């Protein structure tokens, strides 16, 4: 916890010493100079250029005309454009944010004007190349959007060779946009936004409303921000903190709300040179008395390095540091509670092991399904084992319901990876636990479990298996778990169909429907048997399946023959 904010100073110094920021700004400067040498009578909105460096990889620089930037930050283009109109970035949407993502209209308009060119450019870069995408002002916004495009096309393990560095760029999207990127930590780590305390553009789109509440209509920063001033250099990642600092830095333009009154072109190269050899370090003796713990101290030093204390006379740096430190503590606690399915999976082993033990014990009686359905407890040990089974059954259901919810809310690529990683455990869980749900459902005298009783998480787990395109090998012996977790549903429905046919009060239509259902069930069972996809426990004398078989034989009579009747007469004892 104590190092949460001290690392911001260390990262700032590391970036200064690495030359990566200077390298990026040099590319922007070259493009700006090239543009100035061209015919100034030809207006332009956004330009880009690729610079190849044999030892350092490639740099793509984006710049925007200063006049264009000023106009489009003040006119109607400053508004957000909703997800309905930004189909190029559909990949950002998840189930939880599908309607809440919005992007700065001007940035999206500029990006769209280059979309065909950038689409070709995207195909030129392979995942083994080191690539820096950089841009200044609105050019930085276009650079960020292009980087997102690249990230979506790269394999998960290759995104570390891509970095986007923006200088003095305005905020790009709303709270939904920020969340969409923060949900992908690897993507978020690819962005670095450099902001000078003298640059009004990064904070110009912020309203007072943004500072108090992050609603879907507000601009919100994303990823890491690097704040630089004469006092030093520091990094922040927490969005609300960045928002507050940007508001303070842009306050000099707040009264007029016009960028024309503020300096438009900030020479970040000059700022970087000034700071390069300056050590960002403060002694504890400089801290005010109100700072009471190491986290607050680290935060205070970070704020000092940004220079915000010199921008407004009424800024209480100590109070600001304490508020930011408090948010950091809350965020750190939240991260500790983040549900990681792969790490938590081991928790279920005890419950799954108990169910396996119960399943083996049940083979001495009617079988796993029917023993749980009837739950005839004659002794203290049986009562205890039943209670334990109910407990572990509920533990597993709660766990996997939460797992499924978390995974389904992940972005598509991350969700697919997680689903594949969990698929084996998820399938075993479904095949072992859902029969217990079915037993409870029909044990209460209900009907049609699939339509009215099946939990949504079972449906999704089954879909994971279907979507996974897992190659199923040809079995040569019976499965210990019935492959279809809804097998007992169809047994129960077949029993109900037999009752309909036996009932003299049933209508002709009901009887016809019951016969059709029984014929389908016969074929279904035979397919499972032929593929060794059903557990031998279904043939235990007291099982519901064997109960159905006896009833079915009475209904159809001795003269009726089918593949299943032939199998049940001759072969089912040898099925294993």
3-state secondary structure 536-553: HHHHCCCCHHHHHHHHHH
Cα separations (Å) of 135 from 108, 144, 170, 307?
A: 15, 8, 11, 23
Q: Average pLDDT for residues 231-246, to the nearest whole number? A: 85
Can you give 372-405 as a three-state secondary structure string? HHHCCCCCHHHHHHHHHHHHHHHHHHHHHHHHHH
Of the candidates 565, 543, 542, 533, the residue with the CA atom closest to the CA atom of residue 552: 565
Q: Of 9-18, 252-261, 367-376, 529-538, give the lowest mean pLDDT range.
A: 252-261
Of the candidates 123, 106, 368, the residue with the CA atom closest to the CA atom of residue 259: 106
Q: Of 291-305, 508-522, 527-541, give the lowest mean pLDDT range.
A: 291-305
The two structure tokens encoding residue 347: 């928790």
Of the candidates 342, 346, 344, 304, the residue with the CA atom closest to the CA atom of residue 321: 304
Task: Tell the residue number behind the tokens 């557990």, with chain if given.
Answer: 535
pLDDT tens profile 393-442? 999 999 999 899 888 877 777 777 788 888 899 999 999 999 999 999 99
Report whether pLDDT(1) > 80: no
Provide the pLDDT for residue 569: 83
The two structure tokens encoding residue 370: 């029917």
Q: Average pLDDT for residues 300-329, to the nearest whole number? A: 66
Provide the pLDDT for residue 505: 83
- Per DSSP, what are the bridge partners of residue 61? 49, 134
d(CA 551, CA 30): 86
- Edge-first strand listing for the sheet containing 219-220: 80-82, 102-104, 173-174, 219-220
Residue burial 13-24, b: 16+ Cβ < 10 Å; e: rest: bebbeeebbbbb
Task: Tell the residue number behind the tokens 């399943």, with chain if given.
Answer: 359
Question: pLDDT: is 468 or 401 the higher one?
Answer: 401
d(CA 217, CA 358): 54
């Amino acid at each position: 916890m104590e190092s949460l904010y001290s690392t911001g100073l260390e990262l700032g110094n590391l970036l200064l010493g690495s030359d990566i920021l200077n390298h990026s700004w040099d590319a922007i400067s070259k493009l700006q100079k090239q543009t100035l040498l061209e015919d100034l009578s030809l207006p332009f909105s956004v330009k880009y250029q690729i610079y190849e460096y044999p030892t350092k990889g490639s740099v793509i620089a984006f710049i925007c005309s200063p006049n264009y930037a000023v106009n489009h930050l003040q006119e109607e283009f400053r508004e957000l454009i909703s997800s309905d109109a930004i189909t190029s970035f559909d990949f950002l949407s998840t189930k939880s944010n599908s309607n809440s993502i919005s992007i700065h209209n001007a940035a999206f308009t500029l990006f769209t004007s280059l979309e065909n060119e950038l689409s070709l450019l995207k195909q030129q870069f392979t995942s083994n190349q080191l690539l820096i995408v950089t841009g200044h002002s609105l050019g930085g916004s276009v650079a960020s959007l292009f980087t997102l495009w690249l990230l979506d096309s790269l394999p998960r393990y290759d995104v570390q060779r891509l970095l986007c560095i923006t200088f003095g760029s305005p905020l790009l999207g709303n709270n939904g946009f920020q969340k969409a990127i923060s949900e992908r930590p690897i993507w978020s780590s690819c962005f670095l936004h450099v902001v000078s305390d003298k640059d009004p553009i990064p904070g110009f789109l912020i309203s007072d409303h943004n500072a108090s509440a992050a609603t879907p209509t507000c601009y919100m920063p994303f990823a890491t921000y690097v704040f630089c001033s004469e006092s030093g250099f520091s990094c922040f990642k927490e969005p609300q903190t960045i928002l507050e600092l940007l508001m303070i830095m842009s306050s000099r333009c707040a009264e007029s709300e016009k960028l024309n009154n503020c300096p438009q072109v900030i020479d970040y190269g000059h700022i970087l040179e000034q700071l390069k050899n300056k050590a960002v370090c403060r002694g504890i003796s400089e801290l005010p008395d109100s700072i009471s713990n190491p986290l607050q101290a680290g935060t205070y030093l970070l704020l000092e390095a940004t220079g915000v204390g010199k921008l407004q006379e009424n800024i209480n740096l100590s109070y600001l540091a304490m508020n930011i430190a408090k948010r950091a503590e809350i965020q750190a606690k939240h991260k500790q509670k983040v549900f990681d399915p792969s790490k938590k999976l081991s928790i279920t082993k005890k419950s799954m092991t108990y169910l396996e033990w119960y399943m083996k014990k049940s083979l001495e009686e009617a079988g796993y399904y029917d023993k749980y359905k009837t739950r005839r407890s004659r002794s203290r040990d049986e009562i205890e084992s039943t209670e334990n089974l109910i407990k572990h059954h509920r533990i597993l259901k709660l766990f996997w319901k939460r797992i499924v919810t978390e995974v389904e809310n992940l972005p598509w690529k991350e969700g697919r990876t997680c689903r594949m990683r969990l698929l084996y455990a998820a399938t075993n869980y479904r095949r072992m636990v859902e029969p217990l749900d079915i037993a409870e459902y029909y044990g209460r005298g209900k009907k049609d479990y699939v339509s009215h009783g099946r939990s949504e998480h079972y449906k999704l787990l089954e879909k994971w298996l279907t979507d996974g395109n897992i190659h199923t090998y040809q079995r040569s012996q019976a499965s210990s778990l019935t492959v279809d977790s809804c097998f007992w549903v169809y047994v129960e429905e077949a029993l109900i169909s037999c009752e309909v046919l036996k009932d003299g009060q049933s209508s002709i239509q009901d009887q016809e429907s019951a016969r059709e259902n029984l014929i389908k069930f016969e074929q279904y069972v035979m397919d499972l048997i032929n593929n060794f996809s059903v557990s031998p426990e279904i043939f235990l004398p007291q099982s519901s399946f064997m109960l159905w078989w006896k009833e079915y034989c009475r209904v159809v009579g001795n003269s009726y023959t089918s593949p299943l009747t032939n199998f049940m007469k001759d072969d089912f004892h040898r099925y294993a």
